[in-house]
Structure formats: C-alpha cells, structure tokens
Structure 1
Amino acid sequence: MKALVEHIVKALVDQPDLVQVEAVEEGKNLTLRLTVHPDDMGKVIGKQGRTIKAIRSVVYAATPSQKVRLDIVD
C-alpha cells in the first residue's frame, strides 16, 4: 500500500525525491503518513481536496479487508 501511494504522489509533484510515506499498523488498522515538500502540498490536496479524496478512494478500494487512513503531515 505504501508503494502505491508513493507512486501516485510522485507522479503529481515537482519534487518527487522528497515524497515520504510512513506506514504504521495497529491491529487491523493501517495509517499512512504522507510527507511532501511544502510547495507541492497544494498539488497533492487539489482544488477543494479533490485530488487527495481520489487518492484515498484508490487506497480504500485496494484494501477492502483492512481499514486504512491516509494523513498528510506538514
């Protein structure tokens, strides 16, 4: 799952080398913490949050048996 998020986000940003995804598993829950360069934050979030909502939809669809949360870290 971590690799999927990295692949999607790296295609969107200007500085793909600074994209980091940290995965934290807590039982059946998986939390993905996404870190990008501050200048790329708007590209990942998108207008009215549409881009990040689309990324979250893909992540949720890829893991139907596990509860996944995707957070963007400042």
Structure 2
Amino acid sequence: MKELLEYIAKALVDKPDKVEVNEVGEGRSIILQLKVDEADVGKVIGKKGRIANALRVIIKSVAT
C-alpha cells in the first residue's frame, strides 16, 4: 500500500523527489502519512478534497 500511494502521489506533483510516505502501524490499523512539497499540497488535496478522498478510497480498496 505504501508503494502504491507513493507512486500515485509522485504522478500528481511537480516535485516527485519531495514525496515521502511513512507507515505507522498499531495492531490492525495502519496509518499512511503523505508528505509533499508545500507547493504541491493543493494538487494532492484537490478541489474540495476530491483527490485526497479518491486516494483514501483507492488505498482502502487495496487494503481489503
């Protein structure tokens, strides 16, 4: 999942070398933290959070 999120995020941003994905796991829960350059934050969030929500849906569907 971490690799998939990193791949998608790098395709969305202008500075793919600044993309960083950290995986924090506790028990059955895994949290993926996505860090990008300040200039690319809007591209990852999208208008009204649509891109961020789409990323969540993709990752959740892969996780199940």
Counting helix residues as a fraction of each chain, which structure ranks higher? 2
TM-score range for the pair, normalised by the shorter chain length? over 0.9
CA RMSD of the aligned region, Å? 0.4
Which structure would you say has the larger RCO, counting Cα contacts within 8 Å and 6 or more residues apart? 1
Q: Which aligned runs of 4 or more in structure 1 are off by greater than 3 angstroms?
A: none
Q: How many pairs were matched up?
A: 64
In the alignment, structure 2 segments of 5+ residues that lack a partner are none
* Partner SS for 1:17: helix
Normalised by the size of structure 1, how large is the TM-score?
Answer: 0.85
Identity %: 48
In the alignment, structure 1 segments of 5+ residues that lack a partner are 65-74
Counting strand residues as a fraction of each chain, which structure ranks higher? 1
Normalised by the size of structure 2, how large is the TM-score?
Answer: 0.98
